[in-house]
Chain A
Amino acid sequence: MPMIELKNLTKRFDSFIAVDSISFEVKEGEIFGFLGPNGAGKTTTISMLATLLTPTAGTAKINGFDVIKNKDGIRKSIGIVFQDPSLDEELTAYENLAFHAVMYDMSRETRDQRISELLSLVDLEKRKNDLVKTFSGGMKRRLEIARGLMHHPKVLFLDEPTIGLDPQTRSHIWKYVKKLNKEEKITIILTTHYMDEAEKLADRIAIIDHGKIIAIDTSENLKDMLGGDVVSFKTPDSEKISNEFAKIKWISKLKTHNGAVDINVSKAEEKLPLLLKALNKTNAHIKSISVHEPTLEDVFLHLTGKTIREEEATAKDAMRLSRRMWRR
């Protein structure tokens, strides 16, 4: 039985469809990445799974419990770290965790033991009795992760766990996530708009855009889908170039976007001279050429025709139109 099971889950705000009939399954012990631009529907999906929002249509089950019919069953089975901070800064680290323990019906003895266990897991045992408002952003995140784990949940949701953190703290958080997946054998659902984060952490990745899932697979398989390395040409004459490249049979994929032409070929280093020869014929002006192994960014580009950043710009416009989205 899968740990998490979504069937045609949909959420509509007035006329805006935030999540559009998505279905997938997550196995126990898996780290499942949910990758997409801001505003793609990741947080809305998480909110439905965490029983904070009621789905407009479709069903979802976690640990065998239905998100609509058995909210308390779900709530006991999941831990969640929200995108926005949700600690009480006027309380100490210990008090925040103890509050959580009482809310989840933990006994006093197991509570204190669990608190010291988790504070040492996230290296905060020395700050146990300090007010949270004296913590740095990274420390607060770690405390939130510890809190999400307090009641031994089956599934941990991490909604953009490293947003707004510096690179060093991010890699620390990644280390903790890996560690607790291993040590606590917990299923983790991770949403992120950082490619590297999804790539580093997730066993499988679902790419979501405009409320729809456009691909689910391991990051290896997603990248293999592109068929070889990526050669990217920055140019004002993208049309001339793409017309010329369209004639070449060994170019597996061709994509024009925003003053650039991206193609996929195997063994790009050997093909480069041939490509240049072809380009000479066109008299096209070229600003730069780069060759790299495919990344998830390229996968996203291939699937949507846009980079994640371009997509975020339009998603923000959509959110401005739909003011409800700003209400948390």
Chain B
Amino acid sequence: MNKNNLKITEKIIQYTEGRMNNSEKIEFEQELSDSEELRKQLEKYLTLSGEIKKIKNFITDETYFASILPRFRINQEKQRKLKLIPGLALGAALAAAVILFFTITTTEISEIQNGDSLTFSETEIDSLIKNYPDYTLFEAENEDTYSEYVEDIFIDELNISAQSLDSLVLYSSYSSYLDLFTEISDEEADLIYKQVINKELF
């Protein structure tokens, strides 16, 4: 960039903006009359200023300016909704977490109630058995109790009446069910059970 041009431009701006004192102004006007280059530069500057004035007074599409504020308000509303979405998502996540917590807690309670996953000390087991309404069943040592118990099973599960039961070989062959429990294996018991099931009893 030509340093001389920059100096000339500076003088032109100060002159046109009225920032020169009287002596500076007289000196500049003298230079103007002497220098063709300065006159050309001043002319260009005035052309530029004229064009700038023109474009400041353009007729523009006023509907655009009328639309700025409504569009801002719409965008603002969208932004507000966008801010709400993470809030809603957080709320939903919290609700889901609460539901999940209660589901897990309820499942655990039902498991506890079913006794599936409990471990007890021996004293706790004794206490539970004693408080269990049918604990006498587990403590019973005489065969009559077992006989009654097995009879009930026959009646309930095999749908056999007490009278029919008397005629069964199985029932009469074993006087002690305790022996029956100790003498046969589980497989044998299953086999007998299946045979009894398939047998035409009545």
- The yes or no verdict on A and B being binding partners is no
